[in-house]
Structure 1
Amino acid sequence: MRRADSVFARLFGVFLLAILLAHALAFIWFNQYGHPRPPPPPPNMEHREHMRPPPPSFGGPLIPLAFQLLTLIVAAWFAARLLCRPIQQLSDAAERLSNDLDSPPLPETGPRETRQAAYAFNLMQQRIRQQMQQRGRMLAAVSHDLRTPLARLKLRIEQISDPHLCTRMGQDLDEMIRMLDATLSYLHEQRNSEALQWLDLQALVESMAEDAQDRGADVTVSGNCLPFHAQPMAVRSCVSNLLENALRYAGHAEIELHDNRQHVEIWLRDHGQGIAPEQREAVFEAFFRIEGSRNRSSGGVGLGLTIAREAARRQGGDITLETTPGSGLTAILRLPR
């Protein structure tokens, strides 16, 4: 009984029924029309109608073969649908889970193997959700527990009589706080799930450029882009980190929008010092900073590009770095439509 409730048993039954039906049709056909003609009747019985009915004018051996072929095609189509339906449902559920951890569970229906796969998938989703919630609580605790002693240290540093030492220790403490904030932001971006929504990317980029211009930054925007499905907060995080990176190290930024049927691209160009080709992949690693940028005037802890690329890849896109003609760096954010 357990083996009967399986995908194998159902496929075997469908194909067995198809083969039996095809052979039954062929047997009936040949039994009716396939016997050889009887010998000519004697002269005294030539007018009697004891002869077999002649085969139909449209008949022949192609008819049973066509019946067999048609039956097998129909049976194979139903069998393929029966086999692919649970696999397609599992694939769709996995895609929904990659975009949203709170997506509805997979229905545990169908044959035994399908129910087992759905149960295992739902259990995996539940455990992932629990682990992410546990990590979120841990991050909140770490944030609270670290900020309290850092705040006390900052108050005690102000009581140091040596101004030069007080300034240097305050700078080191501020850098520690920035690293803590950046690390918590990075971990929050990793655990944050966001549903796809219609996004007016052109309006978003122009708004961010206007905000930067209000702060005195040199930012220009060109090109056009139609709305498309994306994760708004993740896209904002990508553009914000790339824009801040360009303004921090070059002092200006040129944003270009490129739109086509497959992808939407944001080219963020500057004319600064740029990055050597052998370091363009390394800068996407967490906490990696080029030696020339390890100073307090430029700031940064080496997580901006890491956050931006991971946010882009969660949506099926990516970020690449190229050399700006002349000098500088061009960051290309590519998102699928």
Structure 2
Amino acid sequence: GVAGAFTAFAAALRDHRARTAALPVGGVIELRQTAEAVNAYVAQDRAALENRALVLSGVSHDLGTPATRLRLRSAMIEDAALRDRLDRDIDEMTTMIDGVLTYTRAEIGAEPFRQLSLTSLADAVVADYQDVGLPVTLRQSSLPPARAGTLFSRTTSRPTVDSHALLMRGQPTALRRALSNLIDNALKYGREAQVLTGGDADEAWISVTDRGSVLTEDDLARLTGAFQRGENAGTASGVGLGLAIVSTIAAQHGGRLEFHRAPHGLEARLALARSWA
């Protein structure tokens, strides 16, 4: 009936995928008009995001030419200290625009979803860091059995899955970016990064635990907002978009970014729905 149609419409509207998929149009005239209005708004919002990404891509491309000229000119400076400072400034400028562009692309979430092994993806990302001698390690794990029950039954355990076969549907490039940002954050605020993968029948997750970080869970939760940086970031480059990008990618996968206190630092956990899109 009419109530059922409105209930289905409300459920579709609550779904995070409503931003990237048209809502069903049908039912009574009031419901059809509402669905059409929401779809028009979503289309305008998405067009604005895509236009923003296009502008940023153009700016990023156009900056490449003067940045190259600056690098060539700085190479002719005899003062090594001054030359290094200029090179770092150029790197920071290009990193800033790339970070904003990545954030906008993550908001759009246009990359197609496909079947992938989260453990294999994590292994490849960690190997890239190890190749350049950075203290990043991967350890496979599983979540402890989740406790679940009903009003009429005792609490039961939900079995975990073998992390060696941790298959899910996701956006591989976005997930690689999210994991890299978590590792970069752990290395920036701590001394090392340990990566773990695991999951159950519904969710897959990656956690990155640092060592020696002085940040608290509240600090990291604040850093998920755009353009926020930790107080002890010092002179490290960046504009504070790393965790904001991770949080956006998590939402695009029906998941969330969580923070937990670990024995010697902090754990950032990226939880993902295994069958989201």
Is TM more than 0.5 here? Answer: yes
Query: 1:209·1:221 contact (CA, 8 Å) conserved in 2?
Result: no
Tell me what 1:329 maps to: 266
Tell me the secondary structure at the aligned position of residue 281 of structure 1: helix
**RMSD across aligned positions (CA):** 3.0
Q: 1:140 to 1:230 in 2, by over 3 A?
A: closer
User: CA–CA distance in 2 between the matches of 1:315 and 1:118?
Assistant: 24
Q: What are the superposed Cα offsets for residues 146-168 of structure 1, whole Å, 9 maximum, x if unpaired? A: 33333333333344454443332
Match for residue 151 of structure 1 among 53, 68, 71 = 68
Query: What count of residue pairs does the alignment treat as equivalent?
Result: 251
- Tell whether 2:184 aligns with 1:244: yes
Match for residue 316 of structure 1 among 249, 254, 259 = 254
Quote the offset at 1:243 in angstroms. Answer: 2.1
Give runs of aligned pairs for residues 48-127 of structure 1, distance below 5 A: 81-85=1-5, 87-89=7-9, 91-92=11-12, 95=15, 97-98=17-18, 101=20, 103=21, 106-107=24-25, 109-127=26-44
Tell me the secondary structure at the aligned position of residue 175 of structure 1: helix
Tell me the secondary structure at the aligned position of residue 295 of structure 1: coil
Tell me the secondary structure at the aligned position of residue 35 of structure 2: helix
Tell me what 2:139 maps to: 221
User: CA–CA distance in 2 between the matches of 1:96 and 1:175?
Assistant: 33
User: CA–CA distance in 2 between the matches of 1:164 and 1:233?
Assistant: 37
Query: 1:90·1:118 contact (CA, 8 Å) conserved in 2?
Result: no
- Tell whether 2:210 aligns with 1:290: no
Tell me what 2:50 maps to: 133
Quote the offset at 1:215 in angstroms. Answer: 3.3
Specify every segment of 5 or more residues in structure 2 that has no aligned partner in the other structure, as ranges: 142-161
Tell me the secondary structure at the aligned position of residue 289 of structure 1: coil
Specify every segment of 5 or more residues in structure 1 that has no aligned partner in the other structure, as ranges: 1-80
Tell me what 1:190 maps to: 107
**Greater Cα radius of gyration, structure 1 or 2:** 1
TM-score (norm 2): 0.75
Q: What are the superposed Cα offsets for residues 146-203 of structure 1, whole Å, 9 maximum, x if unpaired? A: 3333333333334445444333233222222222222222222222334544332222
Report the structure, 1 or 2, having the larger strand content. 2
Q: 1:278 to 1:158 in 2, by over 3 A?
A: same
Query: 2:116·2:168 contact (CA, 8 Å) conserved in 1?
Result: yes
Q: 1:117 to 1:284 in 2, by over 3 A?
A: closer
Tell me what 1:54 maps to: none
Q: What are the superposed Cα offsets for residues 67-104 of structure 1, whole Å, 9 maximum, x if unpaired? A: xxxxxxxxxxxxxx3431255156437737536x3x35
Q: 1:112 to 1:229 in 2, by over 3 A?
A: same
Query: 1:209·1:220 contact (CA, 8 Å) conserved in 2?
Result: yes
- Tell whether 2:127 aligns with 1:210: yes
Quote the offset at 1:308 in angstroms. Answer: 1.0
Tell me what 2:219 maps to: 279
Query: 2:52·2:104 contact (CA, 8 Å) conserved in 1?
Result: no
Tell me what 2:196 maps to: 256
Q: 1:96 to 1:309 in 2, by over 3 A?
A: closer
Quote the offset at 1:278 in angstroms. Answer: 4.7
Tell me what 1:235 maps to: 175
User: CA–CA distance in 1 between the matches of 2:169 and 2:183?
Assistant: 22
Quote the offset at 1:123 in angstroms. Answer: 2.0
Quote the offset at 1:256 in angstroms. Answer: 2.4
User: CA–CA distance in 1 between the matches of 2:7 and 2:55?
Assistant: 36
Tell me the secondary structure at the aligned position of residue 15 of structure 2: helix
Report the structure, 1 or 2, having the larger helix content. 1
TM-score (norm 1): 0.63
Amino acid aligned to 1:215: V
Amino acid aligned to 1:328: G
